[in-house]
Structure 1
Amino acid sequence: MAFVVAGLVLVGAIGLLNLLLITAVIRRLRRQEEERGEALRSGPRPGEELPEFSAVALSGRSVSRAGLAGGPAVLVFLSTGCPACPAAVPRLVEYAAQAGLDRERTIVVITGAESEAGELIEPLAGVATVVTEPFPGELSRTFSVSGTPTTVIVGMDGRVAYAEAGTSPLIAPAAA
């Protein structure tokens, strides 16, 4: 009889341990699902003032925060090693046309070797001012870019209206 009681206690203890482990796994899966549902946070927070920056574009023109003052602008961060970045380029071209942004107000920062950036640079000719930088780049750090492509939309007031990473993050021009 003692063996039966000991066996039942052992089976009960194993069952309780199993229940605790399953509960922990379910909690972890729920937490991961919640995190996956959120957009990747990359770039300055909406409402923040655009960070101070300056750089020299491929055209030789200087770009800076002061140069973007007084109107809406968009900055897009791409990288040469990013498989999703080429898909973001046509969306940017379309967005710039819809929003009426000229080349000086559409800034594209490409991180990586300039020799590998041709696929990203070509469709942007006449549409955007392109800046290249090595990885990790100073502009990417200044703008707190944690993934590419990242889009930062600046409103009329010089504050960040939108900043997010993803393959199709561009929103309606009215938000700029």
Structure 2
Amino acid sequence: MIYLTAALVLVGAVTVLNLLLTLAVVRRLRRQESERQQPFGTIDSGPETGAPLPDFTADTVAGGTVTAASLKGRQGALTFLSTDCSACTMAVADLPEFARRTGMDAGQMIVVIAGDADDAHRMAEPLAGIATVVVEETAGPLSTLYSIEATPTTVLTDPDGTVTYAQAGTNPVLEGLPA
């Protein structure tokens, strides 16, 4: 009888331990799910709205040079991408539609791709004629200058060179544009 009692106590203890571990796993999964459902655009990335566009000079993949001054006098868009970001692939696919809907040309749209140079050049191929592309290392000079904390990040400027929008997300600007 003593063995039966000991076995029942042991089975009961293992069952309680199993229940506690299962509840801990469920709680953690719920927390991860709620974090995943938060809007991505809530991440602060890029210069503050209303701030002047930070001055820069960068070499493009086409062999030219682009500066912040080249955006003055017309609306501009800078998009910061990374080669190790899966959402950035979707952002690249959205850029032709963004250009069409905003009427911006390649001189008004600057795309900065950070990461492995070979991967960045492959990522830049579909943007030929749509945007001016700059490639830099991870956390490179432009990403640092523009306080990029997450990719993709879009920064819009007005003709005076003032930041009118800066937010992280796959296509936060595209969603708010008229068809």
Q: Using structure 2 for the length normalisation, give the TM-score.
A: 0.73
Alignment-derived partner of residue 132 in structure 1: 135
Q: Between Structure 1 and Structure 2, how many residues are aligned?
A: 142
Matches within 5 A, 1:91-102: 91-102=94-105
Q: Which blocks of at least 5 consecutive residues in structure 2 are unaligned?
A: 1-30
Matches within 5 A, 1:22-61: 36=38, 39-61=42-64
Matches within 5 A, 1:55-74: 55-74=58-77
Distance 2:126 2:149 in 1: 24
Over residues 128-164 of structure 1, what are the superposed CA-to-partner deviations in whole Å (9 max), with x where a residue is unaligned?
Answer: 0110001120000000000100000111221111100
- Percent of pairs identical after alignment? 44
CA contact (8 A) 1:92 1:170 kept: no
> What secondary structure is seen at the aligned counterpart in 2 of 1:88?
helix
Cα drift, residue 118 of structure 1: 4.0
Cα drift, residue 90 of structure 1: 2.0
CA contact (8 A) 1:86 1:119 kept: no
Q: Using structure 1 for the length normalisation, give the TM-score.
A: 0.75
Residue from 82, 85, 100 that aligns with 1:79: 82
Alignment-derived partner of residue 152 in structure 2: 149
Distance 1:129 1:138 in 2: 17
Q: Which blocks of at least 5 consecutive residues in structure 1 are unaligned?
A: 1-28
> What secondary structure is seen at the aligned counterpart in 2 of 1:66?
helix
Distance 2:51 2:83 in 1: 28
Alignment-derived partner of residue 170 in structure 2: 167
The alignment yields a C-alpha RMSD, in angstroms, of: 1.9
